[in-house]
Structure 1
């Protein structure tokens, strides 16, 4: 080899450059990377070589292959290294004493463990790098290789990786590293390539495969193995939307970001920080068990230089990033894993077990645990699996593609636990009464011993039995302990309510079946007791939503839905309200259905609990667009209440308020208002004007007034409600923010566009922080904000992209047929019509009109008013006669349904007058314009935009009749008022000066 000479940092001559082969198992890639970087920094050449020879290759040949390269071979040793293959100790000792000793000048080693290595490794003279700092580790490495420890050329070699013993700055509950992790090297390398070989801002990789295939284990191993490449590693359990948002939001305080406690605000801060790379640009966020691809846009950070890793069964992640399919083990991985955990079995026996269980990683783990613990001969084990010696069980739905023989294997394992560690089995039965996934088992330790059944009191006692039971179940691979749960070998206890474990859904299904018995209800009672003790008690407070999200999946498994205990019932009802307040309507409807199925056999129809269930259900029904169902259910509840000898006035108040909301959605606005006004009066008398129930009723009265077209009165009510809610609740409470939205909408409808815009801009920012971008209330606020910008903007401002983006988000949350989505579909269609995209405008407006009719029927103000929008479209297409027919139909319909003076009726009259003018019916146009102007002045005031539009329209009709003097006078007065109230450059003012005929867009609103 030709020697190369370099200069040291102080200008002196350097030693000769040498070549090294760093051979490492994949488990120790971070150390191999660090070693290579340090040697290269000193001017040496390094080849890193992942060394994991096939079991069938002779060990001497595998080591000999390493010597084919020039230079010295540096082996990265630990107890893991000698499990490669796996190999028997005798084979390793023979090769070390023979082949390696004969080539001792070519081999060197570093040792990364404090555990004893094989005696024959002494021939390698391994230098100990375990538990020391980076500077000392580098010194020892250079000394072992007989290299001068001179100042390295740090400017020559970039070093993106951190010293492996130094932890990341932020490490977020990544599962403990599985010391038994086997194989999967190609998959891990594929993941790394997927994340690093793309442009910054697009590094998203999804590990996709069936349950139990090892996705979570693979993601955890990636996090540990490549942790030196990141300054932030954060794990997010994502099987439940609520827990996902909560856990993701916890990254904000971990990064030292200034944010509130609400998940929405924290997520916004986290996404912004990750995008900017401040305070850390090298980050990895892992979303484990995330199935909902539609949520990606609101959760994933946009841009930035970090990486996102997802585990999922959903192949739809291809639309978001790269997808890596996770297959079953390769046969060599299966047999290698089995032989490491059960050293007594041969390769052929391991192969037979792998064939039996189809190389499925989860089953390999449990077969290996049983074989390794019992040291049972494989033929005997397989005979028991095949013989039916253990009673066969019915198919467990969670098994999916797992072989039925897995059940027998599991039964054998549980029998072993029962014999060796009965308290571990008791703990396992308790875990089966929680939902699969993350189980907050430590909460049980917060229960006083006297409140636990006798067989479980040991859990609350500070004895070694608790950690020993956890370790037993973990050793058998029945559960995994999260990163905060200590082992008995660590000699310390965690806080009583801090520990949690994870049970795979397949394992949970099998455990539930195999541990079912007379004591199941005892264990479920304990879980219910824990859940009740964790009840935050206020579903309307967004700060309590993370806890509700954690409780929600536990209800069914714990038997809470079947309980008649008062506190448990209130917990269930609280979870229903949480579903509504947090916008989880689909989850809420499913929960309401399951609760009703259980309660119908437990409680009388007119009982307090059934009435409350009905009230909570109808709120979600309305929010979901099922108005007729909500009305029928509320009517039935009211009948039941009125049939009681002495109806509860508060419950009557709530029932009437619900019925009033139903009437609003069904278009019966005067009835709805009268009923809601009575409800507010009762609330003020019984509860007080500032009580939150009264304020909620008052808010609904504001909605009713708005639908009646009485915008000034609605604003007065909404502003009063807002002020009181800010005092009684807090400025960032969801109810208070709802009032902010209402006031901004009122201001816009009153024509105070700039005031509305200012209020809504602030409101949207706050609601994104508190509730998140995709919360229904936030979407509602963003919708109004877009309309405020359209009305307040100067001529030429393009809000089309904003509306298109918002519509996409609406459809992800609501679906195309939801009434909240239809409002935006209509407004976007109107916008596209004005800007010349008539084809897409027709598609949207036709879709909205047809769906509205299907939702609420023909004789409803909204589908009736929609005809006016379609008329404007036909007019833009040149079909003036057809347009006029629709204008007149809308006008006649709304006069019948709402009266002559409702703003919606007056808007249709404005359009109808324009249609008459364009079809040559000039006298009729002027007559209608004059009447419309008179009515808008009386209903909305002299300076309202609709009044001024009516005035401008009248001037145009008068001019068409050659009545120029009056026309000029009317027009000049309108222009002066437009300039004064809206500004000279406002689009309405400019259009009036250019004598563009005014029109009115119908904005559908169901309440």
Structure 2
């Protein structure tokens, strides 16, 4: 009989090993695309698998072993009548003074509510609770650490406490409830429910009384029904660096600051790094070098004292999320390739087609995406989440990225496909390569920047997306992956569009760097006549024009214009737009004013015919034509154009729109040229006030308005006020734009003229 049973077990095992992975992958839709035509095999496979399972079930039904009892709880030696099983915190535990004060303040209020210590894995929740218990031990008669990983473990831990209190009953559940009832009537005790997973596991198992204290530690912040919440944050930069220096015994401030940044201030990671340095006799700079070359290995190691490693700690959260919501885990993997900065919450919804299937389905439904984000929040795998943004801790991203297969295994794709058949996997995207995840991240960023470049909301969004675009680009620069031409083109377009939006926002230096990067990439992967390269040329030309580099801007515009005229014709919108932009450069050079007027007359005529007068592009061209007319002293034409543009522009865009402020500024300058200084002053004051409100005081356009207003005030004879405004403008221009920019030159000239006027006034007063 034993031999027959053994043979059945062996047969079942063999069949299960061969067939179960295949059936599982069919059910989870994890098979490679090339296997889809063979899905009909699923039915015979499942039938074959069911036969041995049914036989084994019938043979073992009457002899199933009893469920194993939970391991016994180790109880610390009693001191007098004290019951205590709470271990001491680790020796190196950092003293979180502010958190200790808040714990004491909340628990000593005697409200009867528990306190939840919440935060990501490795943040120090358990150690903080143990340290609090250690400090309070002398004033307590009972302290008990309850393993709260499940309701069963909570009941078991409380039942063990009941036995220590001589409250044993027939079942663990009844004993646990006796403990809760008794503690509700007593004082001087502390319970720590450690690593709780959900509020439901603790319902009816927490004493409600002001005589004792209850601490709960959890990664899940959703315990509002039972407890007040104290969210634990990572260490601030200075505190993290100081902890590293003390723990490692190394006074190197630069290395400690750099390492603290790389580890994101996570206490467990800091402790692990410091212990490694202390135990191995190396300094923090040496550890940094090892971290660069062997990060994954170091994060797996732990730090002695039987403490788990950073990676093992995070693994618990990853596994829980994967079981709970696969789309959430896929979302986290995408976010791992972003920077540890704010990420637009709706970014994954911008291009769901490049995402893994479960996440793509979630992104088609905002509620499903909310559920995925909520799952990550419950596991404390997001450091923040608002209606607008989400953010991931750097170490979480590092651990996830280290696990993803790089492009070096391209030759083994067939082996990975075969493994997908025989390896059960709920998440097919876990085998995606680094380049595939980066392509998804790059595509999302590109989709996220697709907002009108003249829309101020798009400028702020571009500033938010920039650190993530830089992070994706870093992988390519460091040689970690190789992008195909398609992705290189996408990267060039992304940086160009980010650059032009940041230029509109006023970040000229950053905009120039981005547009030059985009132009370099584009020249390497695109032909000279490709419209995408011409767009990159236009972006760089706009930025160099704004920086006062007129010669370079003129060359770029003329290069693009020649291609547009040849390939698209004179009336094509891109041809007309490039002519409009080129005219803006020419009108700032006296020798080209007549050429600029001819260009703008052609552009205005074409746009009036094709777009109509009530169009933003038409108004821009009319404004520019009016500006040229002013420079050429054709003031009646200039005034008529400026007045019409402001009237229509205010109706179309609203008075405070940045483009409309440009047009009002031009009308003010026409009024100044006509000698109507009071009207010019009122208009310039209005523009300056609105630009400071909408764009900020340091925006280049605000500096231009300061110069223009100062000029009018000086002409009105208020030299002291004009001088003060010019000096303020000069300081801002030096700080924001540099001393080579035209706005700096204009402010410097204005200061000199005001000083000369004041000198003449002083001489006149002396002579009188």
**TM-score normalized by the length of structure 2:** 0.57
Aligned-residue offset at 1:772: 0.8
What secondary structure is seen at the aligned counterpart in 2 of 1:738? Answer: helix
Partner of 1:82: 130
Partner of 1:719: 643
Aligned-residue offset at 1:996: 10
Partner of 1:850: none
Q: How many residues align?
A: 552
The CA distance in 1 between the partners of 2:532 and 2:145, in whole Å, is 61
Partner of 1:546: 460
Aligned with 2:260 (options 213, 230, 245) = 213
Output one character per residue of 1:844-864: Cα deviation in whole Å (capped at 9) or x when no partner. xxxxxxxxxxxxxxxxxxxxx
The CA distance in 1 between the partners of 2:229 and 2:692, in whole Å, is 33
The CA distance in 1 between the partners of 2:698 and 2:484, in whole Å, is 29
- Structure scoring higher RCO (CA < 8 A, sep ≥ 6) equals 2
Alpha carbons of structure 1 residues 441 and 715: separation in structure 2 relative to 1, 3 Å? closer
Aligned-residue offset at 1:773: 0.8
Output one character per residue of 1:391-419: Cα deviation in whole Å (capped at 9) or x when no partner. xxxxxxxxxxxxxxxxxx999999x999x
The CA distance in 2 between the partners of 1:720 and 1:140, in whole Å, is 74
Aligned-residue offset at 1:605: 1.7
Aligned-residue offset at 1:631: 1.6
Partner of 2:69: none
Is 1:661 aligned with 2:591? no
What secondary structure is seen at the aligned counterpart in 1 of 2:260? Answer: coil
The CA distance in 1 between the partners of 2:237 and 2:742, in whole Å, is 50
Aligned-residue offset at 1:629: 1.3
The CA distance in 1 between the partners of 2:668 and 2:143, in whole Å, is 67
Aligned-residue offset at 1:509: 12
Is 1:706 aligned with 2:630? yes
Output one character per residue of 1:477-535: Cα deviation in whole Å (capped at 9) or x when no partner. xxx622228xxxxxxxxx8x864314379959985997455533432332244334434
Alpha carbons of structure 1 residues 610 and 834: separation in structure 2 relative to 1, 3 Å? same
Aligned-residue offset at 1:828: 0.8
The CA distance in 2 between the partners of 1:125 and 1:742, in whole Å, is 77
Partner of 1:438: 341
Partner of 1:734: 658
The CA distance in 1 between the partners of 2:707 and 2:287, in whole Å, is 52
Is 1:482 aligned with 2:393? no
The CA distance in 2 between the partners of 1:747 and 1:110, in whole Å, is 84
Is 1:351 aligned with 2:279? yes
**TM-score normalized by the length of structure 1:** 0.45
Output one character per residue of 1:888-928: Cα deviation in whole Å (capped at 9) or x when no partner. xxxxxxxxxxxxxxxxxxxxxxxxxxxxxxxxxxxxxxxxx
The CA distance in 2 between the partners of 1:128 and 1:473, in whole Å, is 23
For the Cα contact (< 8 Å) 2:241–2:257, is it kept in 1? no
In the TM superposition, 1:616-695 aligns within 5 A as 616-644=539-567, 646-668=569-591, 669-695=593-619
For the Cα contact (< 8 Å) 2:495–2:514, is it kept in 1? no
The CA distance in 2 between the partners of 1:512 and 1:605, in whole Å, is 40
Aligned-residue offset at 1:357: 7.2
Alpha carbons of structure 1 residues 128 and 438: separation in structure 2 relative to 1, 3 Å? same
For the Cα contact (< 8 Å) 2:462–2:501, is it kept in 1? yes
What secondary structure is seen at the aligned counterpart in 1 of 2:457? Answer: helix
Partner of 1:125: 188
Is 1:606 aligned with 2:653? no
Alpha carbons of structure 1 residues 375 and 464: separation in structure 2 relative to 1, 3 Å? farther
Alpha carbons of structure 1 residues 584 and 444: separation in structure 2 relative to 1, 3 Å? closer
Is 1:789 aligned with 2:713? yes
For the Cα contact (< 8 Å) 1:618–1:633, is it kept in 2? yes
Partner of 1:370: 300
For the Cα contact (< 8 Å) 2:645–2:663, is it kept in 1? yes
Is 1:537 aligned with 2:467? no
Partner of 2:744: 821
Alpha carbons of structure 1 residues 558 and 79: separation in structure 2 relative to 1, 3 Å? closer
**Does 178-187 or 802-811 show the bigger shift?**
178-187
For the Cα contact (< 8 Å) 1:176–1:481, is it kept in 2? no
Aligned-residue offset at 1:29: 3.3
Aligned-residue offset at 1:108: 6.0
Aligned-residue offset at 1:576: 4.0
Alpha carbons of structure 1 residues 718 and 526: separation in structure 2 relative to 1, 3 Å? same
Aligned-residue offset at 1:768: 1.0
The CA distance in 1 between the partners of 2:273 and 2:686, in whole Å, is 63
Aligned-residue offset at 1:666: 2.7
Unaligned runs of 5+ in 2: 1-92, 109-124, 149-156, 166-182, 194-198, 200-208, 214-226, 245-253, 411-432, 474-482
The CA distance in 2 between the partners of 1:179 and 1:658, in whole Å, is 50
The CA distance in 2 between the partners of 1:35 and 1:809, in whole Å, is 49
What secondary structure is seen at the aligned counterpart in 2 of 1:815? Answer: coil
For the Cα contact (< 8 Å) 1:176–1:482, is it kept in 2? no
Unaligned runs of 5+ in 1: 1-23, 40-76, 132-138, 145-164, 169-174, 189-206, 222-332, 341-346, 382-408, 475-479, 486-494, 837-875, 877-986, 998-1007
Is 1:595 aligned with 2:518? yes
The CA distance in 1 between the partners of 2:306 and 2:486, in whole Å, is 44
Decide which structure has greater helix share: 2
For the Cα contact (< 8 Å) 1:760–1:781, is it kept in 2? yes
The CA distance in 1 between the partners of 2:312 and 2:613, in whole Å, is 63
For the Cα contact (< 8 Å) 1:429–1:520, is it kept in 2? no
Aligned-residue offset at 1:634: 2.1
Is 1:501 aligned with 2:392? yes
The CA distance in 1 between the partners of 2:471 and 2:505, in whole Å, is 23
For the Cα contact (< 8 Å) 1:212–1:362, is it kept in 2? no
Aligned with 1:29 (options 89, 98, 109) = 98
The CA distance in 2 between the partners of 1:646 and 1:37, in whole Å, is 74
The CA distance in 1 between the partners of 2:494 and 2:314, in whole Å, is 36
For the Cα contact (< 8 Å) 1:737–1:767, is it kept in 2? yes
Aligned-residue offset at 1:604: 2.9
In the TM superposition, 1:801-840 aligns within 5 A as 801-836=724-759
The CA distance in 2 between the partners of 1:82 and 1:183, in whole Å, is 21
The CA distance in 2 between the partners of 1:26 and 1:217, in whole Å, is 18
Alpha carbons of structure 1 residues 361 and 769: separation in structure 2 relative to 1, 3 Å? farther
